[in-house]
Amino acid sequence: MTRLKQFPAIDYFRLIASVFVIAIHTGPLSSYWNAGNFWITRVLGRLAVPFFFMTTGYFLAQKQWRNGKSLWKKFLILYVISSLIYLPCNLYLGNFHSASTLQAIFFDGTFYHLWYFPAVLLGIPLSIQLSKLGLRAALPIAAVLYLIGLGGDSYWGGTSQTSSLTCFYHVLFNFFTYTRNGLFFAPLFLLLGAWGWSRSVRWSSAGFLVCLLGMTCEASFLHTLGYPRHDSMYLFLPLCMLCLFSLLLRANSGEQVRIRKATVWIYILHPGCILLIRAVAKYWNLQSLMVENSLLYFFLTCALSFLLSFLIILRPWPAPCPTQRAWKEINLPALCHNAFVLQAQLHPQCQLMAVLKADAYGHGMVPIARALQKSGIQAFAVACLKEAIALRKAGIRGTILILGYTPASQARELARWKITQSLVDESHALLLSAQKHKIHVHLALDTGMHRLGVPAEAYEAISRIYTLPNLQVDGIFTHLCAVESKKTDHIVYTQKQIDAFFCTIEKLRTNGIHPGKIHFQASYGILNLPAYPTQYARAGIALYGIYSNSEPVQKKLDLWPVLSLKARISTVRTLNPGEFAGYGCEFQAQAPTTLAVATIGYADGLPRNFSKTGNYVLLHGQRANVIGQLCMDQMLLDVTGINQVVPGDIITIVGRDAGRMICAETVAEKCGTITNELFSRLGNRLDTVWISQ
């Protein structure tokens, strides 16, 4: 089977699409070759805007359409900003009239290229509503709308020959100038993107070429007949886009957020760049060179649009300030990527519940929760009431489930902050019920871990809990204690737990009790088990792009590490043969040795045996062994052979440096622990650098 090299294909194609848009508005070959210019601007260029709609639909569907409202607001803000940018142009041109202004704002766009924003603002809510019918029903409805729009666009010459159709379209044109708006154009491409249809590379490539040829013939034929009122819509266009998007999905891996943002600004700013180039050309009397030479005109517009757009979005990556001694770097785009990858592994009805206990495994609970909430996550899990209240105070909405014990005396706080509490046994349930506060709870079942939960076989006790006053049992869950292991006896034990869990749920249903939302898969349940039709899957360590250890898993997913751990060199010195370094004289130089001291120690969360188990750090992309005894605040390094080591240099304890990588799993195993412990004990005196793009 033909395979494509994996890269952020969707984001990179955005740049190509933005060039297509500029080509439409500049006609790069108009002064050289009319037929070629027609094909570039009226055929190839027509792929651009549908592609933008499809990517929007694709990412909305990846998030289960949950962040549609948030995305809609972002488009609205961009539309307002864009309208303000072009307000002087509209005032100069006298484009504002009472009726036409309203039409422009709500349908046509406040400048000629800004029609995209009203279209997407209308298309998103319409597509969300259609998606509730299921794609099998939604796509035909959107296709019918597209065909209606087609009659007022490229096929206008045919439909206008029928008086009834002419009257129908003239009524539409009273509201908007063209039918490429959000009612007829946007829903189909948003839903095609949401479909995420993907076939083999060979099939997609062949389909794209055939459909592009068909669209070329269709466009030429229609223009020969003089049919188009406009030419944004063709019969072959949706088929062409479907095959192209399939091809991009086959190659797509990862994302380039900055490129994505840059293309938005290229789209917004390029007409302004066109006006600026024309003004400069007129002022210097260079129209024949800068404007009438269509190819140079096109390249100048591209160059200026790209330059201004990348100047807007390209800021230096957050860098540690000189006073920082040791810090964590948290990559939020990697976090959101992991959430999408994990969600894609779940059953369609199952939602990801992000586990944020222990300060999000040392990553920073509140910023992590905010980033996930923006990405569409609506359910979170913590260990205790203090963590849950901190999330609520930070504005985190949705379900927040406390997985651990909360005393019944704090039931009032649970109710006040609308927090969901786990019932750890029947007596806990009785005490909470007696507090007279209406609280939401999930019932924990003990299926064999014997840690928390009502025994799964205690059907009568479980049934009684569901009838207790003041408790709204919204869900039921268990924890699998050996699911990370591939050993045969552990696999058997895990299946025994799952069987016991579902047996209890079936008993409840048989007795007429609705169990509520069901969940039992945590990170390794997602990685090692098939997708179950439950309502939640609790992702903890995997959400942060790492595994607990280096043991193999059933599904090796494209997870990106979120956390890097770094520190600085404070001093560099030379040891002569026979000299000692560190507590207890544990290190003795056998040869001339260059010693560097790094500003991190066990008070920052590293295990004290870190230096005794063969761990090393990266410095200038090279390996530097940790030597001697790890101190409370310092670490000794052998940097012999590494050139130009000076105070202030950065070392990497976990993460990537100059193409080399130290995995958290490796560090944890050398220290005799797991990554969960390694990261969750990182000290709060470590600074945090947030990477958001």
The answer for residues whose C-beta is within 8 angstroms of residue 316's C-beta and 6 or more apart is none
Q: Rounded to the nearest 10 degrees, what angle do helices 488-510 and 459-466 cross at?
A: 50
Of 357, 493, 517, 602, the catalytic one is 357
283 assigned to active site? no
Distance (Å) of CA 173 to CA 118, 156, 161, 235, 551: 16, 12, 17, 21, 64
What is the Cα–Cα distance from 153 to 140, expressed in whole angstroms?
20
Across 224-237, b (16+ Cβ under 10 Å) vs e yields: eeebbbebbbbbbb
Dig out the tokens for 64 from the structure: 């289960």
Give the span between the Cα atoms of 558 and 453, in whole angstroms.
34
Residue 195 burial (CB count, 10 A): 18
CA distances from 88 to 84, 110, 308 (A): 8, 11, 19
Check the CA dihedral 289-291-294-300 and report its sign.
positive
357 is catalytic: yes
Cα gap 471→632, rounded to integer Å: 47
CB within 8 Å of 217: residues ≥ 6 apart: none
Neighbour tally for 378: CB within 10 Å: 18
What is the C-alpha to C-alpha distance for residues 426 and 447, in angstroms, rounded to an integer? 15
| DSSP, residue by residue, 573-611 | EEE-TT-EESGGG-EE-SS-EEEEEES--GGGT--GGGG
Assigned token pair, 367: 């910023």
48-59 b/e with 16+ CB inside 10 Å = b?
bbbbbbbbbbbb
Active site residues: 357, 583
